[in-house]
């Protein structure tokens, strides 16, 4: 079994893979103040609750955009799992199917590389826009030739909402997972939820249109992933495929291919 981990700024999303199948997945809140021992307790408690025997885990692979946690997690898994985790890092000669066409490939987040690799391998010969609705909302462009052309980074829905609540004294956190029936709110709560949800849909659809316009390519497969992808699926018909596990699957794919290439 493999433990695949996606360390984001808000959540640490993890999955246990048995061969190619996810048999268990879970989330932890990202906490930069947790110790080596505390992270072990969190992982071990959750895995035990699912009857996952950590002695059966052969590989631990981490895709991280929070460098402050990399060493803590590495030392935790070495100490308690007796496994040195493999980190997705372009500097380590990863075996990739995509060709990266950006000014500085090392600047591209590991999660974006994982998303692009998974989509390029699993949806061959298609022009792809993969949108990751996470702490940041990212749009990544993969051409049918297998070239990763870069993308767009915008603030995520939770981040923008938090900034709104913190800056406006009379506004307050709302449950934006409850979709309003009418875009025109009849009270402050409804108005805020409409602004957050429909505002992000307008941004998403607008950026898709701008990508089409700037590339002069009309045939795009649009794939959504990330923690908020299922919410937006209900609000737009522009998303062709929804899969909130793409980053985890892409991380595993990169590790497996790199491991085989180094044998």
Q: Which class for 216: exposed (0-12), middle (13-18), buried (19 or more C-beta within 10 A)?
A: exposed
Q: Are 97 and 123 in contact (CB under 8 A)?
A: no
The CATH number that applies at residue 66 is 3.30.420.40
Q: Are 116 and 101 in contact (CB under 8 A)?
A: no
> Does any domain span residue 26?
yes
Helices (H), 24-65: 36-49
For residue 173, name the pLDDT band (cuts at 50, 70, 90): confident
For residue 263, name the pLDDT band (cuts at 50, 70, 90): low
Strand partners, 53: none
pLDDT 10s digits, 88-128: 999 888 999 999 999 999 999 999 999 999 999 999 989 99
Strand partners, 29: 11
pLDDT 10s digits, 121-135: 999 989 999 999 988
> Does any domain span residue 247?
yes
Sign of the alpha-carbon torsion through 225, 90, 81, 39: negative
Percentage, residues of the chain above pLDDT 90: 76
For residue 169, name the pLDDT band (cuts at 50, 70, 90): low
Q: Which of 6, 111, 140, 243 is catalytic?
A: 111
Same structural domain for residues 112 and 241? yes
Instruction: Quote the domain boundaries for residue 131.
Output: 103-251
Query: Among the three residues 36, 59, 87, which one is the final residue of a domain in this structure?
Result: 87
* 3-class DSSP state of 82: coil
Query: Does the active-site annotation cover 243?
Result: no
Q: Are 248 and 256 in contact (CB under 8 A)?
A: no
**Residue 190, Cα to own-chain centre: how many angstroms?**
28
Q: Give pLDDT, residue 161.
A: 77
Same structural domain for residues 76 and 118? no
Same structural domain for residues 189 and 71? no
Query: How far is it, in rounded angstroms, from Cα 254 to Cα 83?
Result: 18
């Amino acid at each position: 079994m493999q433990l695949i981990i996606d360390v984001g700024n808000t959540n640490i999303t993890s999955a246990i893979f048995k061969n190619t199948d996810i048999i268990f997945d879970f989330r932890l809140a990202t906490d930069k103040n947790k110790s080596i021992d505390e992270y072990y307790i969190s992982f071990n408690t959750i895995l035990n609750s699912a009857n996952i025997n950590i002695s059966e885990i052969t590989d631990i692979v981490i895709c991280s955009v929070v460098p402050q946690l990399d060493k803590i997690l590495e030392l935790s898994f070495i100490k308690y799992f007796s496994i040195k985790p493999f980190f997705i890092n372009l500097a380590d000669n990863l075996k990739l199917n995509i060709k990266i066409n950006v000014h500085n490939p090392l600047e591209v987040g590991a999660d974006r590389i994982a998303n692009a690799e998974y989509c390029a391998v699993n949806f061959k010969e298609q022009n792809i826009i993969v949108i990751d609705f996470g702490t940041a909302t990212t749009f990544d462009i993969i051409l049918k030739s297998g070239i990763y052309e870069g993308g767009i980074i915008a603030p995520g829905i939770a981040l923008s909402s938090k900034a709104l609540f913190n800056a406006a004294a009379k506004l307050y956190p709302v449950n934006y997972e409850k979709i309003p029936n009418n875009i025109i709110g009849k009270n402050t709560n409804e108005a805020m939820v409409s602004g957050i949800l429909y505002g992000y849909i307008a941004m998403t659809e607008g950026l898709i249109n701008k990508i089409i316009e700037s590339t002069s390519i009309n045939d795009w497969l649009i794939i959504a992933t990330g923690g908020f992808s299922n919410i937006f699926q209900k609000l737009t018909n522009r998303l062709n495929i929804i899969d909130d596990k793409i980053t985890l699957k892409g991380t595993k794919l990169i590790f497996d291919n790199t491991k085989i290439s180094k044998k």
